[in-house]
C-alpha cells in the first residue's frame, strides 16, 4: 500500500511524499489512550502504543520506499518521532530535509538533534503559541550554529544573534497547522502564516487538515511555500487518518489548483498584460464625433461623445476638448484624433 501511495503522489504531481519514522516503544508510554478522532476510526479499546506498533515501518521498508521514490521521480521525506529514528534518516538514508511534527515542537532534545544534523528543517506548529515557536527556533538556532553548552539562555542568545537568524532563514520553514482531524474551517486561522512570517522572517507554509482542497489553495495565494496534505488510496480503509485524507483524484485536483495559483500571483506590477493587448482597442472607448464636425468648429456636448473602439483620443479628455476647435473635418462616429506634441503645446 505504501508503494501504491508513492505512485499516487507521483501521478498527482506532488514534489514529495512523506512518511513517518518511529519506534513506538520510544515514542509513547504503555496504556496511553488514543486521541478522540483515533478512537472513532479504530478500535477504541486499543491503546495508542498498540496501534502505533502495528503501523511501524521497518528500516528495510524505508529503503524500499526510498528507492521506489527515486524511480518514480518524487522526493522521499519522513518525520522522525524519536532520536534513533532521526539518526536513521540522516545517517542511513542520507536525507537532507527533516519534517518535525507539531507534537515535537516542545521536544527540546529532538529539536537540538535536528538542528545539529545539518539538514533543512520543516517545523510544523500546530497547537502552539508564538512564544513556543520562538523557543523551538531558539533550540534550532543553537544547533544550526554549533552551540556548545545547551541552556535556555544559550538558545535565546542564538535566536537573537545575527548568525542564528541567518541560519534559521537558510534552513528552516515553518508550517502553520491546526492539529485536529479533520480541522474545522473556523479554526484554520490562515492569517497566522502572516504573523509568523512577520515575526521571524522565515518561509512559511501550511500543514492542512481541513476537509477538501480549498484551504490549501487559499494558503498558496497567501504565500505558502510548502503545502502538506494527508492522502489515502481510499477514505473507507481502516485506520486513524484515512477519513481526514484526500483520495488520489482530489490530491491531483489540489495540486493543479496550487500550480494555477502560483502562476496567477505574478510580479505585483499593475500593468497591461500580454494577453490583454489584443482586447484593449476593442473593449475601451474613444472620443467620437456624434455628427459631422467641420475643421475649426468647436466641440460641444451635442457633437462630442464616447464610443468604441479605443485607439482615438481618451474619453478622459472630454472636458478638455469641449469648446476647443476641431483640428480637421470629422464624419459622424469618427474617432477624434489623439493630441500630437504640437497640439499639446
What's the total number of domains in the chain? 2
Low-confidence ranges of the chain (pLDDT < 50): 345
Residues 260 and 157 reside in one and the same domain: yes
Residue 134 per-residue DSSP state? H
Residues 88 and 224 reside in one and the same domain: yes
**What would the 3-class secondary structure string for 149-195 be?**
CCCHHHHHHHHHCHHHHHHHHHHEEEEEECCCCCCCHHHCCCCHHHH
Across the chain, how many H-helices and E-strands are there?
16, 9
Residues 285 and 260 reside in one and the same domain: no
How many angstroms separate the CA atoms of 149 and 215, rounded?
Answer: 42
Residue 249 belongs to a domain: yes
φ, ψ of residue 251 in degrees (nearest 5): -60, -45
In sequence order, what are the residues at sequence separation of 6 or more whose Cβ sits closer than 8 angstroms to the Cβ of residue 237?
none
Residues 195 and 336 reside in one and the same domain: no
252-279 residue pLDDT tens? 999 999 999 999 999 999 999 999 999 9
Report the CATH number that the domain containing residue 330 is assigned in CATH: 3.90.1210.10
What per-residue confidence (pLDDT) applies to 252? 98
How many angstroms separate the CA atoms of 303 and 290, rounded?
Answer: 5
Residues 205 and 322 reside in one and the same domain: no
CB-CB neighbours of 139 under 10 Å: 27
What per-residue confidence (pLDDT) applies to 344? 53
Residue 158 belongs to a domain: yes
- Cross-strand bridge partners of residue 39: none
What per-residue confidence (pLDDT) applies to 53? 85
Residues 103 and 139 reside in one and the same domain: yes
How many angstroms separate the CA atoms of 32 and 13, rounded?
Answer: 38
Residue 38 belongs to a domain: yes
Residues 28 and 92 reside in one and the same domain: yes
Which domain does 224 fall in, by range? 2-265
How many angstroms separate the CA atoms of 182 and 171, rounded?
Answer: 30
Report the CATH number that the domain containing residue 199 is assigned in CATH: 3.20.20.70
Residues 327 and 254 reside in one and the same domain: no
Contacts 24+ apart (CB under 8 A), 218-227: 218/190, 219/176, 219/190, 219/193, 220/257, 220/258, 220/261, 220/262, 221/261, 221/264, 221/265, 222/190, 222/193, 222/194, 223/193, 223/194, 223/197, 224/193, 225/173, 226/122, 226/173, 226/175, 227/254, 227/258
The DSSP line for 239-269 is SSSGGGSB-HHHHHHHHHHHHHHHHHH--S-
Residues 111 and 251 reside in one and the same domain: yes
Residue 322 per-residue DSSP state? B
Residues 109 and 66 reside in one and the same domain: yes
Residue 261 cell numbers, joined: 495559483
Q: Is 258 exposed, middle or buried (0-12, 13-18, 19+ CB in 10 A)?
A: buried
Q: Are 179 and 126 in contact (CB under 8 A)?
A: yes
φ, ψ of residue 316 in degrees (nearest 5): -65, -15
C-alpha angle with apex 250: 244 to 255, nearest 5 degrees? 110
What per-residue confidence (pLDDT) applies to 342? 55
Amino acid at each position: 500500500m505504501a508503494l501504491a501511495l508513492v505512485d499516487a503522489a507521483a501521478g498527482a504531481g506532488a514534489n514529495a511524499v512523506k512518511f513517518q519514522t518511529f519506534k513506538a516503544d520510544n515514542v509513547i508510554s504503555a496504556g496511553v489512550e488514543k486521541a478522540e478522532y483515533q478512537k472513532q476510526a479504530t478500535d477504541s479499546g486499543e491503546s495508542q502504543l498498540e496501534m502505533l506498533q502495528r503501523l511501524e515501518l521497518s528500516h528495510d521498508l524505508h529503503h524500499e520506499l526510498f528507492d521506489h521514490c527515486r524511480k518514480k521521480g518524487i522526493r522521499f521525506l519522513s518525520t522522525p518521532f524519536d532520536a534513533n529514528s532521526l539518526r536513521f534518516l540522516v545517517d542511513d538514508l542520507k536525507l537532507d530535509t527533516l519534517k518535525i511534527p507539531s507534537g515535537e515542537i516542545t521536544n527540546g532534545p529532538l529539536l537540538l538533534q535536528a538542528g545539529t544534523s545539518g539538514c533543512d528543517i520543516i517545523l510544523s506548529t500546530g497547537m502552539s503559541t508564538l512564544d513556543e515557536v520562538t523557543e523551538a527556533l531558539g533550540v534550532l538556532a543553537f544547533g544550526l550554529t554549533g552551540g556548545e553548552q545547551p541552556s535556555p539562555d544559550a538558545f535565546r542568545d542564538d535566536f537573537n544573534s545575527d548568525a542564528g537568524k541567518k541560519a534559521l532563514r537558510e534552513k528552516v520553514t515553518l508550517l502553520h497547522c491546526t492539529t485536529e482531524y479533520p480541522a474545522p474551517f473556523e479554526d484554520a486561522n490562515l492569517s497566522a502564516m502572516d504573523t509568523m512570517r512577520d515575526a521571524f522572517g522565515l518561509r512559511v507554509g501550511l500543514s492542512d487538515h481541513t476537509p477538501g482542497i480549498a484551504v490549501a489553495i487559499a494558503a498558496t495565494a497567501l504565500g505558502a511555500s510548502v503545502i502538506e496534505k494527508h492522502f489515502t488510496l481510499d477514505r473507507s480503509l481502516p485506520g486513524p487518518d484515512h477519513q481526514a485524507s484526500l483520495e488520489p483524484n482530489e490530491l491531483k485536483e489540489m495540486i493543479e489548483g496550487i500550480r494555477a495559483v502560483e502562476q496567477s500571483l505574478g510580479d505585483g506590477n499593475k500593468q497591461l498584460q500580454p494577453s490583454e493587448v489584443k482586447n484593449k482597442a476593442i473593449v475601451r472607448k474613444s472620443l467620437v464625433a456624434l455628427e459631422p464636425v467641420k475643421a475649426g468648429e468647436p466641440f460641444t456636448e451635442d457633437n462630442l461623445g464616447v464610443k468604441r473602439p479605443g485607439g482615438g483620443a481618451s474619453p478622459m479628455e472630454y472636458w478638455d476638448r469641449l469648446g476647443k476647435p476641431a483640428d480637421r473635418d470629422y464624419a459622424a462616429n469618427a474617432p477624434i484624433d489623439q493630441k500630437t506634441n504640437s497640439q499639446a503645446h
